[in-house]
Chains A and B, each alone.
Chain A
């Protein structure tokens, strides 16, 4: 049974909200119940962004997460803020190019991926979020490459569709890291 409660957090401009949105769309195409909730409150004024994504076989109750089965963080402050949200046995994925500290907890699965460095090597920094989502998909099985591709087609404006093959390369790089 699938029930993933995912928090994605980092700076504004890192594609935090759109990564969550594509993931939620892919989950929906998978036939799951999904919700996506962005931060829009005062914390945005500090330049940080986060979103809550639920992908579940069951109807989604509250879209607001008080705990998470998986956490993706793309900056240091977000790790500090959300590390305690992760349930025992849960998953933390960090972009280790930007998050220099490692999670302190020992009761969770931790993957530290130099996503920004990998994206930069691919020639496009904006793929760092997709690389991390790739690892999340590999770890949790919440969706497939096929449905993620379909979701990209739905979420990206048509003039950006030429980027999809590269986005999928980034996704696969994350999955295989």
Chain B
């Protein structure tokens, strides 16, 4: 590892992408993630890459489709309303099995909403915001160091499986500065992209990248192939942090910046003799159901804390599968739960 630097989350995402070999960035500015575009605009020319501020989010995602078809490492970033606009392109690229990275630094909705932190896009990211049976690999970092690690990982997962990978954060993570250490060199496995549209040179059959299958037999076969791929991803790429869960009185499920607040709550609770565990999904899809299954009967109850009206809590309930009570506490509109609020809720549940 190199020198410790103090960097902003958004800038670290961009730097990580460059280090992972991303040489194409297409985006359209929106708070609270615009620093990603700033950084790319400044750095891309220095590495002979391409930065384009597209005319819209829709244009940007289709530029991603183009660059990915040609086998390039490519990224776009936006925030909630902008990600909504990209959904058609996301569905198309998923069908065409194009690898690329999409960053969503979530802000509050619905609608144009507000610019403060939120986790209200969980359903959109995890259950599919676009049409059809497809999945994104959704990574939810909770520190600036993880923004780096997981952005690099997102490119590798995307290339390994020919899928779209999404980094999902919020304004707290994007705007905060924290220490980060970059590796001297990224070890990128050699992904042979023999499917890419690189020109045949009249030496081979031409490749096809498409999202249209007119014959139902072909489209069903393609869907089955996609589902098999998602099964493989679920098997190999699920990531989770299980913290303080053995003998826990209550286990809290939280991801991203909320998990940081919960870690403070764990310390506060300890002083009062309450043992709080944390299961922190790092991949939101594939969801780490096994961790919840394993601990389903350990605590007196589960509590899911989110910056939403209750989205991930549905997956927690599915994973706990009726073996325990799963409570929910959420704030919306950019309001954040305080440590005391969460601890009070825990005490109320345990009473």
Contact = CB atoms under 8 A, between A and B. Distances in A.
Interface of B, secondary structure class, is: mixed
Nearest to B32: A40
B179 A34 contact: yes
A15 to B, nearest CB: 16
B347 interface: no
Given A40-B32, A66-B338, A60 B175 contact: no
A37 B338 contact: no
A24 B5 CA distance: 11
A62 B260 contact: yes
Nearest to B175: A40
A69 to B, nearest CB: 15
B114 A42 contact: yes
Contacts of B171: 40
B80 interface: no
B301 to A, nearest CB: 22
B176 interface: yes
Interface stretch (B56-64, B93-101, B195-203, B261-269): B261-269
A24 B6 contact: yes
A37 B264 contact: no
Interface string A58-84: 011111101000000000000000000
A64 B257 CA distance: 10
A121 B31 CA distance: 39
A156 to B, nearest CB: 13
Contact of B178 (A38, A42, A60, A64): A60
A36 B6 contact: yes
A25 B6 contact: yes
A62 B334 contact: no
A94 interface: no
A21 interface: yes
Interface string B321-350: 000000000000010101110000000000
Nearest to B6: A25
Interface in B18-61: 31-32
B336 A64 contact: yes
A21 B6 contact: yes
A41 B338 CA distance: 18
B115 interface: yes
A60 B175 CA distance: 16
A41 B31 CA distance: 10
Given A62-B264, A64-B261, A41 B179 contact: no
Given A41-B115, A64-B336, A66-B339, A154 B6 contact: yes
A63 B6 contact: no
B180 to A, nearest CB: 10
Contacts of A37: 172, 175-177
B172 A63 contact: yes
Interface of A, secondary structure class, is: mixed
Contacts of B114: 41-42
Contacts, number: 61
B178 A35 contact: yes
Given A66-B339, A66-B340, A33 B179 contact: yes
B176 A36 contact: yes
A33 B116 CA distance: 25
Contacts of B271: none
Nearest to A52: B176
Interface in A88-131: none
Residue among A34, A62, A63, A154 with the most chain B CB within 10 A?
A: A62
A28 interface: yes
B4 interface: yes
A64 B234 CA distance: 33
Interface in A37-56: 37-38, 40-42
Nearest to A35: B178
A34 B178 contact: yes
Contacts of A66: 338-340
Contacts of A21: 6, 177
B12 to A, nearest CB: 13
Contacts of A28: 4, 6, 179
B331 to A, nearest CB: 12
A61 B342 CA distance: 14
Contacts of B267: 61
B260 A36 contact: no
A62 B339 contact: yes
Interface of B: 4, 6, 31-32, 114-116, 171-172, 175-179, 257, 260-261, 263-264, 267, 334, 336, 338-340
25 contacts: A25-B6, A28-B4, A28-B6, A34-B179, A36-B6, A37-B175, A37-B176, A40-B171, A40-B175, A41-B116, A41-B334, A42-B115, A60-B260, A61-B260, A61-B264, A62-B257, A62-B261, A62-B264, A63-B172, A63-B178, A64-B261, A66-B338, A66-B339, A66-B340, A154-B6
